Structure 1
Amino acid sequence: MDQSRIPPTVHRTYGTDDLSRAASFAGGFINFGDWHGIDLAAPTPEDRVHSQEQLYRRVLRAFPEPRDQLRLAEVGCGRGLGAALALREFRFAAVTGVDIHPDQIERARTVNAKALATYPDRLAYTLGRADELPFAAGSLDGVYSVEAAQHFRELTGFAHEAARVLRPGGRLVVTTFFAAAGPEAAERLSLLLGSFADGLDVAHPLDGFTADLATAGFTGVITESIGAAVWPGLDRYLADTVPAGHWTRNFLGAWRDGLLDYHVVTADRS
């Protein structure tokens, strides 16, 4: 894969900076978490890890049983902990983590060395882009992505690639944060949030993605807002983790103002 196609902000954030080491992403997972049922009085790093695991479980439960017959790919797998969790807890037939950054694939293989040795034919990590997935047409039963699609430069290619690699009846599940439609929302997000200002995150409207899915050949598209389970818990944890006034504290206000929201999107390949 041509590494020059990795956007500079993505290269830095997930390469030399290794975002997984940040205190706000305790435990090596890199997502904002599903805080449902977690006591927010004084959340601990263990609670933070639990929230991130819960977000994966919410996504993975969207795949139908029997799951031991399903071959899945995770797009934007990062350090690969979620793919290992998917195999360990949900007993899928096989899970392949895909990431654009070679450093992340190296980390995933190192961090999950024991799981790779235990399941050599069922767990793997490989380089790939969301719009150029390393799988044959119709070879997968499921594709999922956990808080990575906000980094994709555009979602149209991802929708079409997911449709290409899924068999008819296969399922796509995506969870991430989407922006309100229109240039005004994108501009306000870039003023409030550093990740939008420097181009790491892209202000993708939810309606644009669902339209892309329909055009790519998906049916039964369902969107579920889970912002109430994400933003208040994340902000409470950040209050004890990042410096006062840090831009990440603006996510909660942006959600309350309707500039963005967190969604789970499911769709079936026709």
Structure 2
Amino acid sequence: MRPVVRETYGPADLSGQRSFAGGFINFGYWRAVDLGLPLSEVERIRSQEDLYRRVLDAAGSPPGPKVLEVGCGLGMGCAVTLREHGSAAVTGMDIHPEQLRRARDAHAELLRQEPARLRFVQGAAESMPVEDGEFDAVISVEAAQHFPDLGAFAAETWRVLRPGGRVAVASFFTVDDAPGRPEELARLLDSYASGLDIARPVRALADAFAEAGLTGVRVESIGPQVWPGWDLWLSRWWAPGTWPRNFLRAYEQGILDYYLVTADRPGRNAGAGTAAAAPGP
């Protein structure tokens, strides 16, 4: 585990910061929220739940699937999956033992009531401690920007998916691999300057999936439903020009965007096609 990840999600406990709410750690998907009205914690939590809903819909798993979440944090997305998608079983995996301890504490009652439907395991995206072909769907919400090796993540995703299974990843990436992108982001955003977030083009993940043998790779920009709401929520505490507000600035300057990337493991009910789609505008 990289030291900056250990600190941010351990002693620093990013989930406890005021910009996040309800135990989630994501920027939110604000499509169903009226940004012209005052925002409360209710709308903030809904935005974070809706991001999971968007990802789960994209994963397109069958009734009663087995789902793996890579980078589950406090497990709030696992609870949404169980509650709303009739999942037979959900495994939340995280690299950080402190996050897993918090997840088990937060969901102690659910773990007691549904021991066969929910579990948390410690593991890295590049080395998953689960069986070959164990899952119908693999999801990851706002964690891939931390993964050191996207190729290894893609290979492990192929391994743990059943034939016909699908992966759906939501995270933020650079729009291209133009020279100087990492330096641009490091000047704008402290999370890139510290190395917590890694500057890579979305094409790197799409290509990694294709090279691992996953097919039907699709890349969709969902930035218009993420950045304006996130920035408006941040404006409660951060003034324009402060670094957290620069996520929207990086998007408006055509440097960074938020993407939903999906792919299938070939086999029964697998999607057709092998080429990665071009990133959205």
Same fold flag (TM > 0.5): yes
Asked if the contact 1:24/1:242 (under 8 Å) is kept, the reply is no
1:128-207 mapped onto 2 (5 Å cutoff) = 128-179=123-174, 180-207=176-203
2:63 and 2:195 map into 1 onto residues whose CA distance is 37
- The residue type equivalent to 1:228 in the other structure is P
Alignment partners' CA distance in 1, 2:264 and 2:62: 16
1:33 aligns with 2:33: no
Structure with more of its chain in helix, by fraction? 1
* 1:238 match: 234
Q: Could you tell me which amino acid in structure 2 is paired with residue 100 of structure 1?
A: I
| Residue type at the aligned position of 2:190 | G
Taking the aligned partners of 1:127 and 1:65, their CA distance within structure 2 comes to 24
Q: TM-score, normalised by structure 2?
A: 0.91
2:94 paired with 1:99: yes
Letter in 1 for 2:30: W
User: Counterpart of 1:43 in 2: which secondary structure?
Assistant: coil
CA contact (8 A) 2:39 2:233 kept: yes
Q: What secondary structure, in the 3-state scheme, does the structure 1 residue paired with 2:227 have?
A: helix
How many residues matched? 264
Partner of 1:3: none
- Alignment deviations for residues 156-208 of structure 1 (CA, whole Å, 9 cap, x no partner): 11000000111111110000001131331111001000000000000121111
Give yes or no for contact 2:61–2:165 (8 Å, CA) kept in 1: no
CA distance in 1, matches of 2:152, 2:184: 26
Task: Trace 1:37-52 onto structure 2 (pairs within 5 A).
Answer: 37-41=32-36, 42-52=38-48
Q: Tell me whether 190-199 or 242-251 shows the greater mean CA deviation.
A: 242-251
Q: Aligned to 2:247, what secondary structure does the other structure show?
A: helix
Between the aligned residues of both structures, percent identity stands at 51
Residue segments in structure 2 that go unaligned for 5+ positions in a row: 267-281
Q: Contact (CA 8 Å) 2:111, 2:118: kept in 1 or not?
A: yes
1:27, distance to aligned residue in structure 2 (A): 1.4
What code does the residue aligned with 2:215 have? T
Q: Residue deviations 1:220-248, cap 9 Å, x none?
A: 01111100000000000100133554301
Aligned residue runs from structure 1 range 66-145, under 5 A: 66-68=62-64, 70-145=65-140
8 Å CA contact 1:194–1:247 kept in 2: the answer is: yes
Aligned to 1:216: 212
Q: C-alpha deviations, 1:29-76, integer Å up to 9, x for none? A: 0000000121223211111111000000000112335321x1110000
SS at match of 1:23: coil
Letter in 1 for 2:137: G
Out of 256, 259, 263, which is 1:263 matched to? Answer: 259
1:14 aligns with 2:9: yes
CA RMSD across the alignment: 1.1
Greater alpha carbon shift after TM alignment, 33-42 vs 59-68: 59-68
**Aligned partners of 2:59, 2:70: CA distance in 1, in Å?**
16
Return the alpha-carbon distance in structure 2 between the equivalents of residues 49 and 131 of structure 1: 30
Determine helix, strand or coil for the equivalent of 1:39: coil
Matched to 1:263, the amino acid is Y
CA contact under 8 A between 2:61 and 2:136: conserved in structure 1? no
Structure 1, 85-94 or 40-49: larger mean CA deviation: 40-49
Aligned residue identity for 2:54? R
Q: In 1, Cα distance between the equivalents of 2:137 and 2:258?
A: 21
The separation in 1 between residues aligned to 2:26 and 2:262, in whole angstroms, is: 18
**SS at structure 2 position matched to 1:25:** coil
SS at match of 2:145: helix
